[in-house]
Structure 1
Amino acid sequence: MYTALRLQRKLAQELRQGTVEITVVDPEPYMTYQPFLPEAAAGSISPRHVVVPLRQVLPQCRVVIGEVTALDHGARTATVETLATEAAGAADTEIPYDELILAPGSVSRTLPVPGLADFGIGFKTVEEAIGLRNHVLEQLDIASSTRDPAVRDAALTFVFVGGGYAGVEALAELEDMARYAARYYHNIEATDLKWILVEATGKILPEVGPEMGRYAVRELRARNIDVRLDTRLDSCENRTAVLSDGSRFPTRTLVWTAGVKPHPVLAATGLPLNDRGRLKCTAALQVDGADHAWAAGDAAAVPDLTAPAPASPDDPPALCAPNAQHAVRQARTLAENVASAVRGGPLLDYRHKYAGSVASLGLHKGVAHVYGRKLKGYPAWFMHRAYHLSRIPTFNRKAKVLAEWTLSGLFKREIVSLGSLENPRAEFELAAGTGRHNEAS
């Protein structure tokens, strides 16, 4: 989306003349601003403000909602399965192109953990974030209404696997929300809730550095969150989380945020991939060895020109980390290069020195390591919000997010669970079935 946004500005004249067309293919009609997912799950931001409608911000582009199922780069054609294919059984659409930009991002990296596919909850989409919010509040309702101590204990136990940004921020925001919500239940205390963070390595939030990572562990543990380092999830069958240290936790909530992997569509492109499944790219963001093919973001293995040279000629060069900071900046360079290539101009190498990282640990709490400076607590939390507010596209969306933050600071949290949103026809189906039964009687 960022690349297309900049391309429609750089190629405005060609678009008006009709000599250039920009086509954006995506399974969803919006771009999800993932750093805001934890706050959406906690209710600080409305779900509709976490997403950016493609048609609204890309008026000069042709937006096709669908998935690329095949790619023939030699013939310059992409086969796309659209919504019409699913709804009406129509044939897949073939879209010809001159320049190909691949930026499908990443998907959750799962492991063959018994029970994970049946009971695990992901945290990469706005639907998963809102579903998790509804689920957590529903567990409080279950615990409040049961007399079975085993059911109550499982409902009030929340296990998060993965100590990166997604896992830590999601757990911290939801723990804040659930602790606040508990005051409205006559038979649930905040201390009854059990939150467990499982991390396979010896640290969390490695992006903010070891010192801030240790502070984050202390901060979470001070809130009675059980942080288990050097620990793996061995099984979650029968709604019981079994950890590698021998611990067993009956739980109805297991959130999996243990890393990502490149989108599987890359394997179907026939373009060169590295050993981790990412597209081999040059510093100019061209796919190495494939003319007229470009890539950026999590899907691209781009050399990091600011990193020190390898100690040995046999060592591979350092690559840009697959994170939002690089992806957004690569999009800018990529758009410049594609526009220049269309006009027959020179290409620029992508070069960006890592600025640092910020992470939220819940309301008014955070850690940051930016340009060598280390911040924690309220200043880091404020920097986290300010940074991401500056990065989310469109003034309209910035204003709405800022307004929601202001209102949420003035009024009480909303603690309503709208679980029926996940199956909106259930009530009508029940009524229709009852109606037929009565009619038959």
Structure 2
Amino acid sequence: MPKILIVGGGYAGFYTAWKLEKWLRTGEAEVTMVDPLPYMTYQPFLPEVAAGSIEARHAVVAHRRHLKKTVVVTAKVTHIDHATKTATITPPIGEPYEFVYDIVVVTAGAVSRTFPIPGVADQAIGLKTIEEAVAIRDRVLTNFDKAALLPAGPERDRLLTFVVIGGGFAGIEVFAELRSFASSLLKSYPQIGFDDTHFHLIEAMGRIMPEVSLPTSLWVIKHLDERGAQIHLNTQLTSAVDGRIELSTGESFETDLIVWTAGVMANPAIVRHTDLPIEERGRLQVRPDLRVGTEDEIIADAWGAGDITAVPDLSGGGVGGFCVPNAQHAVRQGKLLAKNIVAVLREEAPKEYLHKNLGAVAGLGTGSGVFQSGKIAIKGLPAWFAHRGYHGLAMPSWERKLRVVWGWVNNFFLGRDIVSLAATENPRATFVEFASRPKPAAEAVAPAKAPVSAAAAQPTATAASSVTVPAVKARAPRAPRKTAAEKTAEQAAETAAAK
């Protein structure tokens, strides 16, 4: 059987493996998927996870639970040599080893793209993983706990100031969700007022959310401003050293949370360690039919999809002529990729990827959203229902759908859970603090007692004590008792002597 290696288990990789299981005949191919994480993250839910509206584990899909026929390897692919059709797999424990494949599918996704701004690498946090979303949520809750104990002042302001860098969909959604989250917390923290919380979004361009119309983006800015969230347009971050935000406009303030959402880049762990063709922006070069190559050249047995690739956008709506890196494209490309691989295995022609974006929908916190399709714009509560309905259905597998929807229902009746689990970053702290440990060897062995002499054993009167111990007389050994026969013999002897 031909061996198919899928590099990456995100949207595109997971859906490729999932659909291959459905469409491959028994014995037609062997599929192996390699990813350092044991789950796929549904990234559109990350803003709601950060705001406590969705349980973190409900926003991920376990590979092994849903991929029954695929060999799942939880490790990293650190090199792809397509000339010899080998990939280097580096497990978390043990030595790297070579994996020989017949067909390779590169779907390793993207990572946060940052710029060399002082302090960003040390202070900011991204929003590409479920762990980052959980950390953001816990930081907000922990900061509220700390601020409630402090009087008004610079330290309190720093704890209650939250900053998001980047005004795209991800940035606006997490910004609005955090504003909604903070507002909902105020009833549990009577020491903190609405005006004590500060939210800033920094965007270098002159507008936000380029996927929607300009009037719609202006409505979002006004809507968030009315909710106490300030958006800085045409503004660049110049420094974030020690949490002190300095802007190109001259403004400055301090914060304890900086969320970075200003762009992504193709996974460098793969694109920098392969002989497959990479285009000028650092993405894997892919044809419209998702085979690696150019219009004039096809790299046989190599495929790609998702954020790591530059897939031509045949609809004409893509930036620079390519599909934008988002979940919509990755999911659809993964499904088509599986169909095309099966088609080529059966000596049929693959199809080209064509998806015309029908609209964009974003959540802006509980009860508020925005939807844009062509010239039609829906705002407020109806758009919020559209957002939840779309993503609730888009979540893979009915098991995951039910968990997410059930969580929304619980929150509607019971409210969000506001417990911070920041201590999970160091879960052994309490145990280590109170754990008993063996004493050092030098203290464990007691010093031997000096021998006591006979003279020293005799009691003596000292100046420190007026009590004297009387001498004890030694008793003579007691004679053994005489028997009755012995007593009779003695009496007879005494009588004869007297006579």
TM-score range, shorter chain: over 0.9
Q: Distance in 2 between matches of 1:234 and 1:191?
A: 26
SS in 2 for 1:145: coil
- Specify whether residues 147 and 308 from structure 1 end up closer, same or farther in structure 2 by C-alpha distance, changes over 3 A only: closer
Q: Distance in 2 between matches of 1:186 and 1:375?
A: 35
Shift of 1:147: 3.6
* Residue matched to 1:389: 392
Q: Distance in 1 between matches of 2:44 and 2:273?
A: 29
* Residue matched to 1:398: 401
* Residue matched to 1:180: 184
* Residue matched to 2:130: 126
- The structure that is helix-richer by fraction is 1
Q: Does 1:331 align with 2:319?
A: no
Shift of 1:436: 5.5
In the TM superposition, what whole-angstrom CA distance separates every residue of 1:238-290 from its partner, at most 9, and x where no partner exists?
A: 22010111111111111111110111011211211111111111111011042
- Specify whether residues 94 and 180 from structure 1 end up closer, same or farther in structure 2 by C-alpha distance, changes over 3 A only: same
* Residue matched to 1:200: 204
Q: Does 1:416 align with 2:419?
A: yes
Map 1:158-237; keep pairs closer than 5 Å.
158-237=162-241
Q: Does 1:252 align with 2:265?
A: no
SS in 1 for 2:249: coil
Map 1:269-288; keep pairs closer than 5 Å.
269-288=274-293
Q: Distance in 1 between matches of 2:100 and 2:338?
A: 19
* Residue matched to 1:10: 23
Q: Given residue 151 of structure 1, which amino acid in structure 2 is its aligned partner?
A: E
Residue among 293, 302, 306 paired with 1:293: 302
State the identity as a percent: 43
Q: Distance in 2 between matches of 1:169 and 1:406?
A: 21
In the TM superposition, what whole-angstrom CA distance separates every residue of 1:342-364 from its partner, at most 9, and x where no partner exists?
A: 11111111111111110111011
Q: Distance in 2 between matches of 1:438 and 1:392?
A: 56
Q: Distance in 1 between matches of 2:257 and 2:373?
A: 34
In the TM superposition, what whole-angstrom CA distance separates every residue of 1:136-172 from its partner, at most 9, and x where no partner exists?
A: 1111112111247121111011111111122111111
Q: Would the aligned equivalents of 1:183 and 1:189 in 2 still touch at CA under 8 Å? A: no
Structure 2 length-normalised TM: 0.82
Structure 1 length-normalised TM: 0.93
SS in 1 for 2:88: strand
* Residue matched to 2:372: 369
SS in 2 for 1:353: coil
* Residue matched to 2:344: 341
Q: Distance in 2 between matches of 1:128 and 1:347?
A: 38
* Residue matched to 1:29: 38
* Residue matched to 1:102: 106
Q: Would the aligned equivalents of 1:356 and 1:372 in 2 still touch at CA under 8 Å? A: no
Q: Distance in 1 between matches of 2:302 and 2:280?
A: 19
In the TM superposition, what whole-angstrom CA distance separates every residue of 1:376-410 from its partner, at most 9, and x where no partner exists?
A: 11111111111111111111111111111111111
* Residue matched to 1:313: none
Residue among 239, 243, 246 paired with 1:242: 246
Q: Would the aligned equivalents of 2:38 and 2:74 in 1 still touch at CA under 8 Å? A: yes
Q: Does 1:304 align with 2:313?
A: yes
- Specify whether residues 290 and 427 from structure 1 end up closer, same or farther in structure 2 by C-alpha distance, changes over 3 A only: same
* Residue matched to 1:312: none
Residue among 69, 72, 95 paired with 1:60: 69
- Consecutive unaligned residues in structure 2, runs of 5 or more: 1-13, 445-499
Q: Would the aligned equivalents of 1:131 and 1:422 in 2 still touch at CA under 8 Å? A: no
Q: CA RMSD in A?
A: 1.9
In the TM superposition, what whole-angstrom CA distance separates every residue of 1:106-159 from its partner, at most 9, and x where no partner exists?
A: 100011010111111111111110111000111111211124712111101111
Per mean C-alpha deviation after superposition, the further-off stretch among 234-243 and 174-183 is 174-183
Q: Distance in 1 between matches of 2:56 and 2:212?
A: 27
Q: Distance in 2 between matches of 1:154 and 1:437?
A: 44
Q: Would the aligned equivalents of 2:89 and 2:98 in 1 still touch at CA under 8 Å? A: yes
Q: Would the aligned equivalents of 2:83 and 2:275 in 1 still touch at CA under 8 Å? A: no
Q: Does 1:50 align with 2:59?
A: yes
- Consecutive unaligned residues in structure 1, runs of 5 or more: 85-89, 310-315
Q: Distance in 1 between matches of 2:317 and 2:178?
A: 39
Q: Given residue 338 of structure 1, which amino acid in structure 2 is its aligned partner?
A: I
Query: How many residues are matched?
Result: 425
Residue among 73, 76, 99 paired with 2:85: 76
Q: Would the aligned equivalents of 1:365 and 1:376 in 2 still touch at CA under 8 Å? A: yes
Q: Distance in 1 between matches of 2:241 and 2:287?
A: 44
Shift of 1:412: 2.3
- Specify whether residues 286 and 406 from structure 1 end up closer, same or farther in structure 2 by C-alpha distance, changes over 3 A only: same
**Higher-Rg member (1/2):** 2
- Specify whether residues 204 and 435 from structure 1 end up closer, same or farther in structure 2 by C-alpha distance, changes over 3 A only: same
Q: Distance in 2 between matches of 1:107 and 1:70?
A: 18
Q: Distance in 2 between matches of 1:234 and 1:148?
A: 28
Q: Would the aligned equivalents of 1:183 and 1:190 in 2 still touch at CA under 8 Å? A: no
Per mean C-alpha deviation after superposition, the further-off stretch among 231-240 and 148-157 is 148-157
Q: Given residue 23 of structure 1, which amino acid in structure 2 is its aligned partner?
A: T
* Consecutive aligned runs of 4 or more in structure 1 exceeding 4 Å deviation: 434-441
Q: Would the aligned equivalents of 1:158 and 1:253 in 2 still touch at CA under 8 Å? A: yes
* Residue matched to 1:322: 325
- Specify whether residues 430 and 352 from structure 1 end up closer, same or farther in structure 2 by C-alpha distance, changes over 3 A only: same
Q: Would the aligned equivalents of 1:234 and 1:244 in 2 still touch at CA under 8 Å? A: yes
Q: Would the aligned equivalents of 1:140 and 1:182 in 2 still touch at CA under 8 Å? A: no
Q: Given residue 220 of structure 2, which amino acid in structure 1 is its aligned partner?
A: A
Q: Distance in 1 between matches of 2:181 and 2:385?
A: 19
SS in 1 for 2:33: strand
* Residue matched to 1:87: none
Residue among 266, 274, 283 paired with 2:271: 266
